[in-house]
Amino acid sequence: MSAGETVAGPQNSSMEIHGGKVVYEILGTSDELIVLTPGGRFGKDIPGLRPLAQALVDGGYSVLLWDRPNCGASDIQFYGPSESHMRAETLAALLKGLDRGPCVIAGGSGGARDSMLLSILYPELVSKLVLWNIVGGIYGTFNLGAYYVLPSLQAVRGLGVEGLVQMREWRERIDENPANKQRLLDLDPDEFVKLSLRWLGTYVPKPGQTIPGVDDELFDRITVPTLIIRGGENDLDHPKRTSLEVSCLIRGSTLIDPPWPEDAWERAMEDRASGRSGGFNMFDTWVQAAPDILKFLADS
């Protein structure tokens, strides 16, 4: 299978990109497409994402949901200056393979970072940009490296690549896509350590980088209409300050207050940590942004 060749399933399709399978689906039939990307290493079926997608479809758009590399049922992959660079490159190839674009690129948390990088590196694919829950600050940036890079790096240093298949995160990827087990075992441990150190270095805060791994001057390349939903007042993962700084870097961008409670992320984190039933999932409130997103797209 080569880039551009797709395999359809009951709802999902897949495309081989850079030697790895990328799973995606398109909701709706409109020619106007919104790419919707969640945060973390969560796939397209994370609770809370699909209600937002459906609300955008009801507003007259089609929505592309996709499992980024290392997420959902897609293949595990490791390359590039950072994981977000890898994902931006993958999304660009996916859109080109589908012959779609320019289109609306929208994402929250890690998905916002992926969306900004796509807009910087592949501006020809982007018509408008929508961002929320932008990660930044010392705590938020260090937390990314500690959570997404260090555990796997330490596992390989101690146990070799066999240590990866013992980790809950990668076992979940194997459960959704059994081929991922062999992909992990085929990794060269020395090369994996080098790559992990490179990815970890991205998350060390540096002068002139409001967003990890992205020089501030590169934001001059984003010239499309951009909507930024600022972070909550006391959200350490997605600081209000970072949203304000990004709004300054993207000239002409529109900055609005969050449509969800100021403490929505903190409450979701508390519910997740305590295992309380009936509490928020991390992305449950995102559907509340649909009216603001649709209004922005109609007016810009």
State the Cα–Cα distance between residues 77 and 195, nearest whole angstrom. 11
pLDDT at 104: 98
pLDDT at 2: 36
pLDDT at 276: 59
State the Cα–Cα distance between residues 239 and 140, nearest whole angstrom. 8
State the Cα–Cα distance between residues 36 and 105, nearest whole angstrom. 7
pLDDT at 111: 97
CA 138 to each of CA 82, 135, 264: distance values in angstroms, whole numbers, following the listed order = 18, 10, 21
| Tens place of pLDDT per residue across the chain (300 aa) | 334 443 333 479 999 999 999 999 999 999 999 999 999 999 999 999 999 999 999 999 999 999 999 999 999 999 999 999 999 999 999 999 999 999 999 999 999 999 999 999 999 999 999 999 999 999 999 999 999 999 999 999 999 999 999 999 999 999 999 999 999 999 999 999 999 999 999 999 999 999 999 999 999 999 999 999 999 998 999 999 999 999 999 999 999 999 998 888 888 878 777 765 555 567 889 999 999 999 999 999
pLDDT at 280: 53
- The CATH H-level superfamily of 6-149+203-299 is Alpha/Beta hydrolase fold, catalytic domain (3.40.50.1820)
Q: Where are the domains of the chain?
A: 6-149+203-299
Strands (E), 146-281: 226-229, 254-256
